[in-house]
Structure 1
Amino acid sequence: MKNINFRQQVLPHIIAVLAFFTISILFFNPLFFGNKTLDQHDITQWKGSAQELEKFREATGEEGLWTNSMFSGMPAYLVNVRWSDGIVTGIKKVAALFLPHPVWNIYLAFLSFYILLLAFKVRPYLAIGGALAFGLSSFLIIGLAAGHNARIGAIAMMPLVLAGIHITFTRNRILGFGVTTTAVALELRENHLQITYYLILMIAVYGVVMLIDAIKKQELNSFLKNTALLILAAIIALGTFFGKFWATYEYSKYSMRGESELTATVEAGENSSGLKKDYAFQYSYGILEPMTLLIPDFYGGASSHFLVQDEDSEVLKALQRTGDPQAANQLARYTSAYWGNQPLTAPYYAGAIICLLFVIGLLFADKKYIVWLTIIAALGIVFSWGDSFKAFNYFMFDYFPGYNKFRSVTFALIMTLVAMPLLGFIGLERLLEQGINKATQKKLFIALGTTGGLCLLVVVFAGMASFEKEGESQLPIWFLNALQEDRESLMRGDALRSLGFILAAFFVIFLHLKKKLSFGIVAGLLSLFILVDIWVIDRRYFNEDNYKRERDNSFFALTDADKEIKRDEDLSYRVYNLQGAWNEARTSYHHMSLGGYHGAKLRRYQDLYDYCLQNETGELIKSLQAGNRDLSSFGVINMLNAKYLTFGPAKNNIIKNPEALGNAWFVSSVERVNSPDDELTTTCKINTRNRAVIDVSKFNVPESINYDSAASIELTDYQPNRLEYDSESNTDGLAVFSEIYYPKGWTATIDGSEVEILRANYVLRALQVPKGKHTIVFKFEPEAYFVGNKVTLAFSVLLLLVFLGSLGWTIKKQL
């Protein structure tokens, strides 16, 4: 048995874990000591989206798999489905020391990055500072404030995946294999494919760099063995995610991330696969905006920070001097501190000290790591520019696999925010190992001059910036001058602040090199400086305002309008909120809704909105405002069974729509078309009560159909994944259902015999129903869930064996 030096080999890790645990609790202290919960916008909206599925699960113990509560119906895979990945979740809970959600993601980000730095041979006490810089990065904290828990959870695992890969290549294959398998499974568990996509890019560049290094060292065989082992790790990890992956991949082809069937989109110059450019690049950094990595308020700070709220702001003083309260209130809307081009934002701040260390890394780290991490850092910035750098990003959007599936390209900065502290602490470790001499001293002063000098330049020349947001040139000159003065003050103040932290870190490092400070003191002071620097900036965007009382559920409280609608005893009908239906899920909490809140709705439903429903809604609002209550001409709204229209919380803010077509109806004629374009444009024009549009190039329907005006079809039983109807007709007929057509997983039977589900009116279902009395049943039983879930469970068990086996083997080797 080997002797273990507790003080050197064990104690530092205990201190690190205790530090991460304590800081996680202190940062989120109202969750632990104030009986509060986080008020996260996206999570609040998610609760509305998931309510139907939660209630169904509580009542039956089953998964709904499909929700009718938003966008008239869609698969629930990306809303609320529980998979058989409890083993992976259990590993995460244990690793996070059972901290509550979402605090556990920040703790795991600390721990994950700490392990990554250890893998690159950074000493534990030094690695603590790097872990704090990554885990408290404003990128993660702002994401939590918005409710992007899955994104932050996936990000927290990125360093651990990289650590496992690096351990496999450079230190211990078996341990590396176990870490990689577990880390990838934990990362995939979050089901945030955009972050996974960026992680794959980082791994790919790492692989190329290591391949070149292996060829130079004539170690190609070893490289190939390690690569094969990592591929096996990825396969096992992917198996634990197999059900989710299958379902998500299958759904993506029919969602907004999939290929458009409309030729009009292609003719307009858009890529037919994936998102549209204006949507994908809506959130793009300006060319100089990455300066916020060094100076958080370089572009004014958060868009939600209105300078009129600051007592000492010049813009407030200017408005007070007007003597016109009405004009002042109107102009107050234009006092956002942020003057970039993004609609809503807050700056992603790496930390002033991290910027200094990054330059040190460029000067002192091993060449192969410099190449890898510089490429990654640069890619993150270039991607974040989006349509500010169209030549590159539009090319990537059109031709690079997978790039056009994601929006919010500023998320790509996570690659930069991983690369900067990693290279920085690798470089710092190498600098401290080399000690002081003329060469290292010169390089150290270059790092200071680069970062500190840049801050100083901003302080001196800040007045040369325009500080003017697009569209603000029409504002009164006296008001614009005050606004620009405040923004300039913010930039200059944060530049001085960053300069101060850079100088403090520089002198601590320099004094250690001169043997004036011990290593322990240097590591402790750097960690403290980093913590204070980033913590204070985080508090600008994440503070007491982000919490609410734990039992506060007022957002979903029933309004008088809700109560009135709920008096309706019909099994299923829809509500159309005319006040922003397409960006809210409160309606979905209580009712079936035409709208909703989700970033990956069905593409055909989005097409219907873009080309038809949007215009029809505008005409509807105009008609109602003119006092016209005849709703018979709004064919698309009526075919979606919008029985109630709402425009406020009061009882008299609802309109019952007598023209809503109900759950199902027989039509008297069919418009036969041969393309999706014709299918959509015809749907927008016809009287949907009597006629249906069917693409006969995809579905077979008779040349003519019979129609019995006395025929009836009625919904008799409703569940999210099962619908039952009774029909009666004296002739064969075509029935249209106000349910969204989805080609995977839905089956239909008439009296127990399966029949083909047709697509009608671009988005709805239809059936050819024989004459007589019949029972019609729709069931949603997707193989992606029922088969995929079994595969997930099997691989989860295998993962547990790999995790315990590799851990046990490593411990045995150490003893």
Structure 2
Amino acid sequence: MKHFDFKKDILPHLAAIAIFLIVTIVFYSPVFLENKALPQHDIMQWKGSAQELEEFREQTGEEGLWTNSMFGGMPGYLINVEFSGELTKEIHKLISFYLPHPTGIILIAFISCYVMLLVFGVRSWLAVAGALTFGLTAFNIISIGAGHNSKVTAVAYMPLVLAGVHAAFTNRKWLGFVLTALGLALQLRVNHLQITYYLMIMVLVYGLFQLIQAIQEKKIADFAKTVGILVVAVIISLGANTGRLWTIMEYSPYSMRGKSELTSQGGGEKTGLEKDYAFQYSNGIMEPLVLFIPNFFGGSSQQDLGKNSNLEKALRKQGMSGQQLQQQVENAPAYWGDQPLTAPYYAGAIVVFLFVLSLFFLERKHTLWVMVLVGLSIVLSWGDNFQTFNYLIFDYLPGYNKFRSVTFVIIIAIVAMIISGFSGLEKLLSLDWNKETQKKFFIAMGITGGFALLAALFAGIGSYRGAIDARLASYPDWYLQALREDRASLLRVDAFRSLFFVVATAAVIWFVQLDKLKKSLGMGVIILLILIDMMGVSKRFLNSDSFVRESKADEFVATEADQRILKDQDPDYRVLNLMNPFNDAKTSYFHKSVGGYHGAKMRRYQDLIEREISPEVSEVIAGLQEGKFDFENADVLNMLNTKYFKAGESARAAIANPSANGNAWFVSEIIKVNNANEEIAAISTFDSKEEAVVDVSSFEVSEIVNDSTSKISLTSYAPNELVYQSSSNKAGLAVFSEIYYPEGWKATIDGEEVKILRANYVLRALEVPAGEHKIVFTFAPSSYRIGNTITWVFNVLLILSCLGYVGYAFVGKSKE
């Protein structure tokens, strides 16, 4: 029976985790030592959108599944729905050492990358260095600052999956099975499918090169066995997230990621996002150089240029001083690349140097797949700036057109360079320090260090004019000239900075190889250099000034306008915030909103926003500014039961709309159309109180007789159940100011299920018989109920697999 050697097998890993914990606490010291919080824009928006579902969960112990708090109503799957079968949630907390969110994310990234590098054969202390590089990369820190927590968490688990795949292909199949299943299950749980898609690209490229190698070595049978094991691991990870994936897949065709039914928008020809939207954020051809020199393109769209900058001197010369001067300098448009808004995804000068170094020392079978991934990642990140390739990929690569912000794909290059870079350094440290080795070493240093030196020396010859300058057209020439001089200075300083880290790291390696510096001490110095490098850049985007003393209660304080609206005791009505309504979910914290903030709103609702709601909002604003507006003309807003408009924060800014249609109403006439185009065209000119537009190619509807005495009202409201009482002398068509969604909603009249019709492009309608009736809408999708059970079963299998491997290792049958 084999026994673990504590000093050799346990202590290095405990030390590594201790380092990761210390670095995490130091980086987030305002949270741990000063009781501060990190305000995150997207998280603030999420809290607003999730409030109704959270309140319902607290009050009932149930999941709402549907929320009316955004865009008139939408499934809650992509907002805030919990699955009781997701035991991986507890594993996630354990790996993050129960640190408060989002501080634990970089700790997960550290541990995940550490495991990956160990599996790739990198010794413990070098794996620590690589893990620190990965966790502190600007990609992660910038994203955390913006509140993209799910994206960064998905990124944090990428190395764990790659570790499993590599272990399986290097004759450690059980370890590979467990790591792949666990890593992928944890990543899928955080629900950022764009990052999962990029992970899939990495695995497929790696697998393709493994297949080529297996063919060359005539080991197809072993390759097939390994793939089979990994397929089972993937099945378990998918099973462990069945409920979440099933509900999202069910919703996806009806979301903005699905097919448009309007032929003028390419309906019937394509699915996914429009190219202009998907490629809005695309790297310029030279922009990936920020991986090596962070301020190569000026840094962020708003960046502090510091004291004694050219801009500060120019502003002082013009007589500006005090707080106004400080604000101008601290929020200068330093970025001069092709994107409208960005910050540099710096990978680290040291890791870029090590990556180049690895290309000279690793075998081709270990570098080719990495080079393909780095090159592919960079080309894909060019997006709209390399249309020949990227439009082809967008149109024909399955699923790729579901995602936007293609700059995110650069994470593939970052992960690949870390794998190759630290594997290459591990290889170099095992080689004799002969002339051939030294020659390759100096070539690698010359390539990276030489480029940094040239960038610094020739920094003054660029134009330093970018896309963001279009917004500066009204600025005087002296301002623009000073700004462009500062942009050049930022490049020059950071180029020398990268040169320093390349030379310093090379020097450490040189002294270690000459036995003038112990390897342990040398690796310690490399860890220190990486910390200085990565934290130095990361602190530009997330520093002590980023944290505030602010409780959750203070984040959402009802304004006078909110308080006035909240006096209305009606169970269900909607509010439209006239100030940027479709990029705001804070309104949703207090009210059911016509607008919201989400990248996957319902496709038909987005059509309605573009074709009808936005023009009506413009008319409302124009009318209010003139002091007169006939709300009766806003038929679409009225049919959405927009009972209040918010035009500011004061009580007077809460404007009541007496023309809102209410929760439900009977119509006197049906306008029959035959397709989506006719449907949305008809609601441009109809009377929403008297007429209903129905697509008879999809829904059968009876003729109706006008009954002016008919009434219908909402008597009970919950996110997943709406109860109405109707009274009419004749059968008629009732229209409800609720968003139509065909999956999961059921309607009953006096307990008998009836078919839900779609009316007015986005609303629900029912044929209601004469008399008094109780009408109930319930949302209980089987995808959630059954999916949750399957999720639980596979979570148990996953945990048993992990425990089985741990037990197997400890009894000595396998020590990996």
TM-score, length-scaled by structure 2: 0.97
User: 2:708: which partner in 1?
Assistant: 709
- Give me the whole-angstrom Cα distance separating, in 2, the residues matched to 1:654 and 1:814: 69
In structure 2, give the amino acid aligned to 1:316: E
Conserved 8 A contact 1:178-1:807: no
User: 2:733: which partner in 1?
Assistant: 734
In structure 2, give the amino acid aligned to 1:290: P
> Deviation at 1:801?
0.9
> Deviation at 1:566?
0.8
Conserved 8 A contact 1:65-1:75: yes
- Give me the whole-angstrom Cα distance separating, in 2, the residues matched to 1:545 and 1:275: 37
- Give me the whole-angstrom Cα distance separating, in 2, the residues matched to 1:63 and 1:20: 36
Matched, 1:463 2:444: no
In structure 1, give the amino acid aligned to 2:453: L
- Give me the whole-angstrom Cα distance separating, in 1, the residues matched to 2:264 and 2:311: 47
User: 1:800: which partner in 2?
Assistant: 799
- Give me the whole-angstrom Cα distance separating, in 1, the residues matched to 2:788 and 2:779: 15
> Deviation at 1:119?
0.8
User: 1:690: which partner in 2?
Assistant: 690
User: 2:776: which partner in 1?
Assistant: 777
> Deviation at 1:272?
3.0
Instruction: Give secondary structure in 2 for the equivalent of 1:632.
Output: helix
Cα offsets for 1:217-254 (capped at 9, x unmatched): 11111111111011001101110100100001111110
User: 1:290: which partner in 2?
Assistant: 288
Cα offsets for 1:493-528 (capped at 9, x unmatched): 000011001100011111111221121112111111
Conserved 8 A contact 2:693-2:761: yes
User: 1:314: which partner in 2?
Assistant: 310
- Give me the whole-angstrom Cα distance separating, in 1, the residues matched to 2:659 and 2:25: 55
Aligned residues: 809
- Give me the whole-angstrom Cα distance separating, in 2, the residues matched to 1:685 and 1:281: 35
User: 1:623: which partner in 2?
Assistant: 623
- Give me the whole-angstrom Cα distance separating, in 2, the residues matched to 1:334 and 1:103: 26
In structure 2, give the amino acid aligned to 1:560: E
User: 1:233: which partner in 2?
Assistant: 233
Of 299, 302, 305, which residue of structure 1 is paired with 2:303?
A: 305
Matched, 1:578 2:582: no
Write the mapping of 1:339-738 to structure 2, written as runs, cut at 5 A: 339-470=336-467, 471=470, 472=472, 475-551=475-551, 553-702=553-702, 704-738=703-737
**In percent, how many aligned pairs have the same letter?**
51
> Deviation at 1:323?
4.2
- Give me the whole-angstrom Cα distance separating, in 2, the residues matched to 1:440 and 1:292: 29
Instruction: Give secondary structure in 2 for the equivalent of 1:738.
Output: strand
Conserved 8 A contact 1:40-1:546: no
More displaced 10-residue stretch of structure 1: 607-616 or 92-101: 92-101
Instruction: Give secondary structure in 2 for the equivalent of 1:549.
Output: coil
Matched, 1:247 2:247: yes
In structure 2, give the amino acid aligned to 1:279: Y
Conserved 8 A contact 2:723-2:775: yes
Cα offsets for 1:253-278 (capped at 9, x unmatched): 100111111100128xx973111111
Instruction: Give secondary structure in 1 for the equivalent of 2:84.
Output: coil
- Give me the whole-angstrom Cα distance separating, in 2, the residues matched to 1:699 and 1:635: 23
Cα offsets for 1:542-573 (capped at 9, x unmatched): 01232222525333101111111111111110
In structure 2, give the amino acid aligned to 1:661: N
- Give me the whole-angstrom Cα distance separating, in 1, the residues matched to 2:742 and 2:29: 48
Cα offsets for 1:600-653 (capped at 9, x unmatched): 100110010011111111111111111113111111111110000111110001
> Deviation at 1:333?
11
User: 2:206: which partner in 1?
Assistant: 206
> Deviation at 1:4?
4.0
> Deviation at 1:334?
8.9
> Deviation at 1:480?
1.6
Matched, 1:747 2:746: yes
> Deviation at 1:3?
5.0
In structure 2, give the amino acid aligned to 1:755: V
More displaced 10-residue stretch of structure 1: 771-780 or 85-94: 85-94
- Give me the whole-angstrom Cα distance separating, in 2, the residues matched to 1:749 and 1:9: 64
More displaced 10-residue stretch of structure 1: 244-253 or 25-34: 25-34
Conserved 8 A contact 1:113-1:130: yes
- Give me the whole-angstrom Cα distance separating, in 2, the residues matched to 1:333 and 1:25: 27
User: 1:54: which partner in 2?
Assistant: 54
Cα 1:445–1:21 change in 2 (3 A) is: same
- Give me the whole-angstrom Cα distance separating, in 2, the residues matched to 1:663 and 1:276: 34
Conserved 8 A contact 1:467-1:488: yes
> Deviation at 1:794?
0.8
Conserved 8 A contact 1:38-1:548: yes
- Give me the whole-angstrom Cα distance separating, in 1, the residues matched to 2:337 and 2:352: 22
Conserved 8 A contact 2:381-2:407: yes
TM-score, length-scaled by structure 1: 0.97
> Deviation at 1:394?
1.1
Instruction: Give secondary structure in 1 for the equivalent of 2:548.
Output: strand
- Give me the whole-angstrom Cα distance separating, in 2, the residues matched to 1:159 and 1:478: 48
- Give me the whole-angstrom Cα distance separating, in 2, the residues matched to 1:381 and 1:776: 56
User: 2:175: which partner in 1?
Assistant: 175
Matched, 1:134 2:126: no
Matched, 1:159 2:197: no
Conserved 8 A contact 1:48-1:585: yes
> Deviation at 1:674?
0.6
- Give me the whole-angstrom Cα distance separating, in 2, the residues matched to 1:331 and 1:533: 27
> Deviation at 1:282?
1.1
> Deviation at 1:321?
2.3
Query: Any stretches of 5+ residues in structure 1 without a counterpart?
Result: none
Cα offsets for 1:673-701 (capped at 9, x unmatched): 11111111111221111111111100011
In structure 1, give the amino acid aligned to 2:596: G
> Deviation at 1:344?
2.2
Instruction: Give secondary structure in 2 for the equivalent of 1:434.
Output: coil
Write the mapping of 1:60-209 to structure 2, written as runs, cut at 5 A: 60-209=60-209
User: 2:763: which partner in 1?
Assistant: 764
> Deviation at 1:9?
2.6
Conserved 8 A contact 1:175-1:810: no
Conserved 8 A contact 1:35-1:550: no
Conserved 8 A contact 2:302-2:331: no
In structure 2, give the amino acid aligned to 1:11: L
Conserved 8 A contact 1:65-1:77: yes
- Give me the whole-angstrom Cα distance separating, in 2, the residues matched to 1:723 and 1:483: 58
Instruction: Give secondary structure in 2 for the equivalent of 1:685.
Output: coil
Conserved 8 A contact 1:265-1:271: no
In structure 2, give the amino acid aligned to 1:590: F
More displaced 10-residue stretch of structure 1: 781-790 or 432-441: 432-441
- Give me the whole-angstrom Cα distance separating, in 2, the residues matched to 1:435 and 1:666: 87
> Deviation at 1:464?
1.8
Query: Any stretches of 5+ residues in structure 2 without a counterpart?
Result: none
Instruction: Give secondary structure in 1 for the equivalent of 2:281.
Output: coil
Cα 1:296–1:331 change in 2 (3 A) is: closer
> Deviation at 1:332?
7.8
